[in-house]
Structure 1
Amino acid sequence: MNPWTVDPGCPASCAADPDPRVPLGELARRYAALTYTLTRAVARGDRLAEPTILRAEARAVLGALGVGLEVVGAERLSAAGGSGAGGGGGGVRAGGVGTLVVANHISWLDVIALLAVEPVSVLAKQEVGQWPVIGTLARRVGTRFIDREGSPRRLPCAVAELTDVLRAGTSVLVFPQATTWCSVPGGRFRRAAFQAAADAGAPVRPVTVAYRQGAVPSTAAGFLGDEDFTSSLRRVAAARQLTVRITAHDPLRGNDRRALAAAARRAVVVGGVVREGLCEGVTLR
């Protein structure tokens, strides 16, 4: 099997229309606010990559769309001792290794919500770099792209490159499911990124991303299957009381990529702390 091959994920039909919806006047206001926010972000040029600015702009995008943000378990995504704003670069830690941040994947909105908590470098599929506006912004904030259509022999090189980035002190966000699912459990966690963490001696921070509308779990934010971006954006903008909850779990350490991947997925799915000793070769820091 080609190591770049990913699971099919959920079909677009899993993304439900928002209920309740905002009035048309509020929907128009949100689109206008989003346009203003994105235009301002593009105008910032390379300064957009500065942690304080990037966090503020990510929060502004959520605000423009009327999406609430809840953070549980940690004030930042990098492991203890890492740096957020004011640390000399997004997710850059002086004098130490970075953190491999791994999260379940539901929507394009996941990245914005996670950057609103702490700006870290993002690993994304190459196609994202070609998206209008979004691609431009992704490149300016230092997103690292992977060509999943490339030769299978490129995988060891990609792992080595990620290892070097972590060793240099940069924290990196990865979605190990490699595609989007409508709910947290989703698919399996691919192991390649965990090999990079093991080789770099970097901690792994599992993070759960979940969406609710009011008090009810919601798939309105889903960006699934072969759906186009505009349709997904329309649902998000139309949703009343949509909230994204970011739950950061205790960091993991280990030298076995299989054990790390299994423990990280268990933490993300269960939504709680993985206890020490559940996986051989994995300990909590």
Structure 2
Amino acid sequence: MTWDGAPPPDHVSKGPGAVARIIWRGMGIVLVIVAGLSVLLPLRLVERPVFGLHRPWTPWITQMVCRVSLFWLGLSYRRTGAPMQGRGAIVANHSSWLDIFVLNAADRICFVSKSEVAGWPGIGTLARATGTLFIARDPRAAKAQTALFEERLLAGQRLLFFPEGTSTDGLRVLPFKTTLFASFFSEELRPHLSLQPVTVVYHAPEGRDARTYGWWGDMEFGTHLLATLALPRHGRVEVTYHAPLRVSDYANRKALAAAAERAVRGDHALAAREQGDNETAKS
């Protein structure tokens, strides 16, 4: 059995305490999101006709909502390094649905997501409200996707996507798929664009399975969400921003993707080793 076919960790908390935590944390996060949307949506009605695709105000609201949500959940968050300035995109490893909150908390970004997400109840509405760019996983749509990337990036948006193409158990970084990297090599973007690799590492609560925050295979979102809300206490997540890579310094999409993957994978492996050493010392 490979890692992606392995059963999820047995970390589901049960009993009255778990139910109380689910209600307390869940309601708190929902109220934070609703409050954020009540400000974001009316502001977007002004922002859109004045600035078009450029979103100078509303990403600040999304960032604040995600930071408060992580605080309410109890997941400790730390950022190392600084988001780049100027035009560019971001790539990161993908472990969990929690990445959406974590990476929005770290920087003011717009996610790139598969087109199916737009139709998901609740999540699709939130994704559209926060400026997510939806793309079809179809090679025949590559030219149209490149045009969408150009339009958003030239408007000043900072796009973020997950080149692994799927989430993991949090203990590994999968090979980067190179398809979307081709968009950065258009004549309009290549001379002016940089790509910033970001590593996200989750540390499980003491005594819990190291895969606690991972979301992979056929795991159901609802079950994982409830298990996460019910945890007696949470661990922490570290977000590391690496030095930006100038697109013009690379010959093609494969070379750029390989450089980004090395940066993300190297820091992830180092953090995993440190986590293992700490657990060994405690035992």
TM-score (norm 2): 0.77
**CA 43–168 in structure 1, closer or farther in 2 if over 3 Å, else same:** closer
* Matching of residues 1-285 of structure 1 within 5 Å: 10-11=4-5, 13-15=7-9, 17=11, 23-24=17-18, 25-46=20-41, 47=43, 50-74=58-82, 76=83, 79=84, 81-82=85-86, 98-148=87-137, 150=138, 152-183=139-170, 185-199=172-186, 200-201=189-190, 202-214=193-205, 218-239=210-231, 240-253=233-246, 254-255=249-250, 256-271=252-267
Cα separation, 2, equivalents of 1:143 and 1:177: 18
Further displaced range: 248-257 or 164-173: 164-173
8 Å contact kept, 1:37–1:64? no
Alpha-carbon distance change, 41 to 251 in structure 1, aligned in 2, over 3 angstroms: same
More helix per residue: 2
Which whole-Å CA distance do the structure 2 matches of 1:134 and 1:105 have between them? Answer: 17
1:276 is matched with which residue?
A: none
In structure 1, list runs of 5 or more residues that go unmatched. 1-7, 83-97, 273-285
Measured at CA, do residues 115 and 22 of structure 1 come closer, stay the same or move farther in structure 2, by a change above 3 Å? Answer: farther
SS in 1 for 2:226: helix
Maintained 8 Å contact 2:163/2:176:
yes
CA-CA distance at 1:106 after TM superposition: 0.9
TM-superposition CA deviations, 1:125-176 (whole Å, max 9, x none): 122222222211110111011122x4x3112321232133223332100101
Instruction: Tell me the secondary structure at the aligned position of residue 7 of structure 2.
Output: helix
Runs of 4 or more off by more than 4 Å in structure 1? none
SS of the aligned residue for 1:13 comes to: coil
Q: Distance in 2 between matches of 1:154 and 1:9?
A: 32
The answer to whether the 8 A contact 1:166-1:197 is kept is: no
Question: Which amino acid letter does the alignment assign opposite residue 261 of structure 2?
Answer: R
Shift of 1:185: 3.1
Counterpart Cα distance in 2 of 1:52 and 1:165:
18
Write the distance in 1 (CA, Å) between the matches of 2:135 and 2:202.
27
The answer to which of 39-48 and 61-70 deviates more is 39-48
**Cα-Cα RMSD:** 2.7
- Whether the 8 Å CA contact 2:185–2:253 is kept in 1: the answer is yes
Measured against aligned partners, the alpha-carbon deviations of 1:94-131 in whole angstroms (never above 9, x if no partner) come to xxxx2110001111110111111112111011222222
Query: In terms of Rg, which structure is larger?
Result: 2
